[in-house]
A and B are shown apart, each in its own frame.
Chain A
Amino acid sequence: AQSVSQHNHHVILSEAASLELGCNYSYGGTVNLFWYVQYPGQHLQLLLKYFSGDPLVKGIKGFEAEFIKSKFSFNLRKPSVQWSDTAEYFCAVNVKTMEYGNKLVFGAGTILRVKS
């Protein structure tokens, strides 16, 4: 079955520290990859997405992610985090199923807390 793994459930960083959140997926076909963020009390928002082309994609608020096909990974990075980046981050993979077509599968999420 298709699955998405996020390596860390909780991450605590100080402001200005660098961030890398791991995401691996198990699906052999063509994938579309997403990172969503959920700030406290707010709804899920798209951070960035990868469909094709340059495997290094840039998103909002200084985030970027790199798709490494050979490693089935799509890790999220930010060089210098801010207190306002405190949120829960979800990696998601859109997989094509034989029965239904496309379906978005989420990882378990990583809660990031940035200390000011």
Chain B
Amino acid sequence: DTEVTQTPKHLVMGMTNKKSLKCEQHMGHRAMYWYKQKAKKPPELMFVYSYEKLSINESVPSRFSPECPNSSLLNLHLHALQPEDSALYLCASSLSTGGEYEQYFGPGTRLTVT
């Protein structure tokens, strides 16, 4: 199983809502990532978890709150988002954060903030 799954596929939320994005992998990977991808742009790194501990936060606003409950799951909690946060949110995983390990990407959650 070389799959990273993400739910939901699409999400529409108002600026006062609280919602969560979920990501799951069963490849035994110990590194998991959240990326944000705006239309016609490359993925931009948001957070990195290594062995369930947050190791990189790329100065992401606090309205995005990541959580790694166990080695297979990664959540992104959303609260009080802005319309400019509308984007495709990608989850990825790799064996570890070592540079030689490829990242496996999920299909993404298309988020629209109204």
Instruction: Say whether A100 contacts B42, CB under 8 Å.
Output: no
Whether, in the assembled complex, A44 has its beta carbon less than 8 Å from a beta carbon of chain B, the answer is yes
B83 within 8 A of A: no
- 6 tightest CB-CB pairs across the interface, nearest first? A106-B42, A94-B99, A44-B105, A102-B99, A32-B99, A43-B107
Question: Hey, which chain A residues are within 8 Å of B50, CB to CB?
Answer: 101
Chain B: residues with Cβ within 8 Å of the partner, total of 24
Given contacts A34-B102, A101-B97, contact A42 B107 (CB under 8 A): yes
> Could you say which residues of chain A place their CB within 8 Å of the CB of B106?
43
Q: Closest CB of chain B to A25's CB: distance in Å?
A: 13
Whether A103 sits at the interface, judged by CB under 8 Å, is yes
Task: List residues 30-51 of chain A with CB under 8 A from any CB of chain B.
Answer: 30-32, 34, 36, 42-46, 49, 51
| 7 A-B pairs in the complex with CB atoms less than 8 angstroms apart | A32-B99, A51-B100, A90-B43, A100-B56, A101-B56, A102-B99, A106-B42
Task: Determine whether A58 belongs to the interface, using a CB cutoff of 8 Å to chain B.
Answer: no
Name the A residues within 8 Å of B55 (CB-CB).
Answer: 100-101
Q: Which residues of B contact A (CB under 8 A)?
A: 4, 40-45, 48, 50, 55-56, 90, 92, 97-100, 102-108
A100-B56, A101-B55, A103-B56 are known contacts. Are A90 and B42 too (CB-CB below 8 A)?
A: yes
Majority-rule SS of A interface residues: strand
Shortest CB-to-CB span from A51 to chain B, Å, is 5
CA distance A90 to B35 in the complex (A): 14
Number of interface residues of A (CB under 8 A): 26
Given A43-B108, A44-B90; A104-B42 close (CB under 8 Å): no
Q: How far is the CB of B88 from chain A (nearest CB, A)?
A: 10
Pick the contact of A45: B90, B100, B105, B108 (CB < 8 A). Answer: B105
